[in-house]
Amino acid sequence: MIIYLIYSLRSEEKLNIKHTQHLDNLSTKVDELKLETYEAKLNPHLFKNILNSIQSNAYQTYYTIDKLSSVLDYILYESKGNFSTIKDEIEFTKDFVEINKVKVSPLFDFQIKMKIDEQSNYFQEKIIAPLICIDFIENAFKHTDFQQSNSFIKIIIELNNQTFSLKVINKISQKNNLKKETGGHGSQSLEHRLKMIYTDHFSLSKTIEQDIFTANLSINLHEFYTKMHSR
């Protein structure tokens, strides 16, 4: 009887382990499907805005099409996986900014600063979610009045051996009410992706003060990488 009970308990324990593993696998697949859904929604939206920028500035079509080619390569091929290298994400972001700068006057106050430690352990590591930088940069171009004298856009991207961070600051156009859109599709998609991928290893803040919108994203790469490789 004792032997039978021990055998039954062990069999039940093995069955529970199998059930747990099955549920974990299902959960992973659901998360992957969710990620694919968010990216599928994001990519056409991004593509449409790029084409609009080119169409409205035909005199610089050759230059922007060259940049667009690189952007599309990244979207169609490099961003298919769940992760990309920070090096590739930064190059993609630069090209995306150059395309959108076509509609900006040379006198417009536009600043982009890169503080990138290329010797960082994570610079060429596949650790960053592709297209993670675009949401706030795209919104900055979308919601800024380039004809207004005191308008500006400032982008700061930093990488050290611990964290990756993006900060975007812009003067909101009075023609658009960004306050109503901060919880819109693009913003929600980004937050969902961050939560599903980086869980509690990131911080994200969005503030509006006197028509100045500030978005601040920071990802603790060291903590995330350690967690990934400890499984």
- Please tell me the predicted confidence (pLDDT) of residue 78: 73
- Count CB-CB contacts under 10 A for residue 141: 21
pLDDT reading at 129 higher than 50: yes
Tokens of 195: 């939560």
Q: How far apart are CA 126 and CA 124, in angstroms?
A: 7
CB 95 within 8 A of CB 119: no
Q: How far apart are the first and last CA of the chain?
A: 39
134 versus 163: which is more confidently predicted?
Answer: 163
129: exposed, middle or buried (Cβ count in 10 Å: 0-12, 13-18, 19+) = buried
Q: Determine contact, residues 60/32, Cβ cutoff 8 Å.
A: no
Whether residue 204 contacts residue 217, with contact meaning beta carbons closer than 8 Å, is answered with yes
What is the full DSSP assignment across 202-216? Answer: EEEEEEEETTEEEEE
Q: What is the pLDDT of residue 185?
A: 39
pTM of the entire predicted model = 0.75
pLDDT at 2: 63
Do 79 and 131 form a contact (C-beta atoms < 8 A)? Answer: yes
- Please give the pLDDT value at position 200: 93
What does the alpha-carbon distance between residue 219 and residue 231 come to, in Å, rounded to a whole number? 20
Closest CA to 225 of 164, 158, 135, 166: 164
Which tops the pLDDT comparison, 81 or 158? 158
Quick one: pLDDT at residue 88? 94
Compute the average pLDDT of residues 178-189: 54
User: What's the rounded Cα separation, in Å, for the pair 96 and 100?
Assistant: 6
- The pLDDT mean for the chain works out to 80
d(CA 218, CA 204): 7
Tell which wins on pLDDT, 35 or 99. Answer: 99
**Tens of pLDDT, residues 42-90:** 566 666 666 666 666 555 666 777 787 788 888 777 777 789 999 999 9
Lowest mean pLDDT across 21-35, 98-112, 155-169: 21-35
The answer to whether residue 170 scores a pLDDT higher than 80 is: yes
Lowest-confidence range among 97-106, 172-181, 192-201? 172-181
pLDDT tens digit string along 12-53? 666 566 656 655 665 666 566 566 656 655 566 666 666 666
Pairing label, strands 109-116, 152-159:
parallel
Residue 179, classed as helix, strand or coil, is helix
Cα–Cα distance measured from residue 81 to residue 214, given in angstroms and rounded to the nearest whole number: 29
What mean pLDDT comes out for the span 99-121? 89
Which band of pLDDT confidence, cut at 50, 70 and 90, is reported for residue 193?
confident
Better-scored residue on pLDDT, 179 or 215: 215
